[in-house]
Amino acid sequence: MAPDDISRREAERLRGLADDARVARTFEVLADQGALWVWGDEEEILFTEDARRNTLLPIWPYATVARLENEGEVDGEHAIRIAVDVFLTEWLPQLKDDDAGISIFPVEETNTSVLTLDEFRSRMTAALRLN
């Protein structure tokens, strides 16, 4: 297991946290590990939509929880590690161009915490300062 990954048992425990606790823990982990995880393959990253058909990028704090949500759906897809600094400087501008939001640690395809890009940047910056 990579140093920035966790056991399946710990992943299941995190998935069971209340929404607010799961989101708070996600920002703590991102600041501590300096990375986040998305899902996709070598050519595409998985996006989803909310009930109003807004485009969302799901992110997870560990590869294990991303795998629990997505594994087995499409051959060749896997968890992809993105450095937080790269995400902030390169991904957020592209997501803005795509008019997308961010779904923090969705569980069972439920987007419990959706943040605008500005909200994400603000929370991530605050978490990095605390780290």
Residue 3 has pLDDT above 70, yes or no: no
Instruction: Give the residue-averaged pLDDT of 47-63.
Output: 92
pLDDT in tens, 84-121: 999 999 999 999 999 999 999 998 866 778 999 999 99
DSSP helix/strand/coil, 24? helix
Question: What tokens were used for 89?
Answer: 């400087």
Q: pTM for the complete prediction?
A: 0.90
Per-residue model confidence (pLDDT) at position 1: 46
Task: Please give the class, per CATH, of domain 8-130.
Answer: alpha beta
Confidence category of residue 42, pLDDT binned at 50, 70, 90: confident
33 to 28, 29, 41, 82, 92: CA distances (angstroms)? 9, 6, 22, 11, 19
The percentage of residues in the chain with a pLDDT greater than 90, rounded to a whole number, is: 69
